[in-house]
């Protein structure tokens, strides 16, 4: 069971804005570490989407944004497009687990 909790699924129509939450299981579990987000298209390897809580790597559209507050984070996708349909994962580190890498359980985004 992930120490980072994400909703199993979200959906939205083209052009809409959706958000995906990522909540840490304990106030002390990872407050000192940044949260990162990955997009995984069907049949493909994960791809870094957001790093350091709210930074986009080169080539990632501005439609993707993220924020962080305490042990919770969220990913927002505005101007939803069909090509955004994918699984999204948050990731951080857990100081309670010897600074282990932790992933959220993943959220399936469906574009209606």
By the criterion CB under 8 A, which residues form the site for other proteins?
2, 33-34, 36, 38, 45-48, 51-52, 57, 89, 91, 93, 97-106
Token pair 């000192």 is at which residue? 32
First to last CA, the chain: 29
* Contacts with 106 (C-beta within 8 Å, 6 or more apart), sequence order: 6, 8, 40, 87, 88, 89
Residue closer to other proteins by CB (options 76, 93) is 93
Nearest approach, Cβ of 51 to other proteins (angstroms)? 4
The distance of closest approach from Cβ of residue 103 to other proteins in the complex, given in angstroms and rounded to an integer, is 4
Cβ nearer to other proteins, comparing 51 with 72: 51
| Smallest separation (angstroms) from other proteins to the CB of 64 | 14
Q: For the CA atoms of the chain, what is the radius of gyration?
A: 13
Tell me whether residue 12 or residue 105 sits nearer to other proteins (CB atom).
105
Using DSSP's 3-state secondary structure scheme, residue 38 falls into: strand
């Amino acid at each position: 069971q992930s120490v980072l909790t994400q909703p199993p699924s979200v959906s939205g129509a083209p052009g809409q804005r959706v958000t995906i939450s990522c909540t840490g299981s304990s106030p002390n579990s990872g407050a000192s570490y940044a949260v990162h987000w990955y997009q995984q298209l069907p049949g493909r390897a994960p791809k870094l989407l957001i790093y350091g809580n709210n930074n986009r790597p080169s080539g990632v559209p501005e439609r993707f944004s993220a924020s962080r507050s305490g042990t919770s984070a969220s990913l927002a996708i505005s101007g939803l497009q069909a090509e955004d349909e994918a699984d999204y994962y948050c990731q951080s580190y857990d100081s309670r687990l010897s600074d282990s890498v932790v992933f959220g359980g993943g959220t399936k985004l469906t574009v209606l």
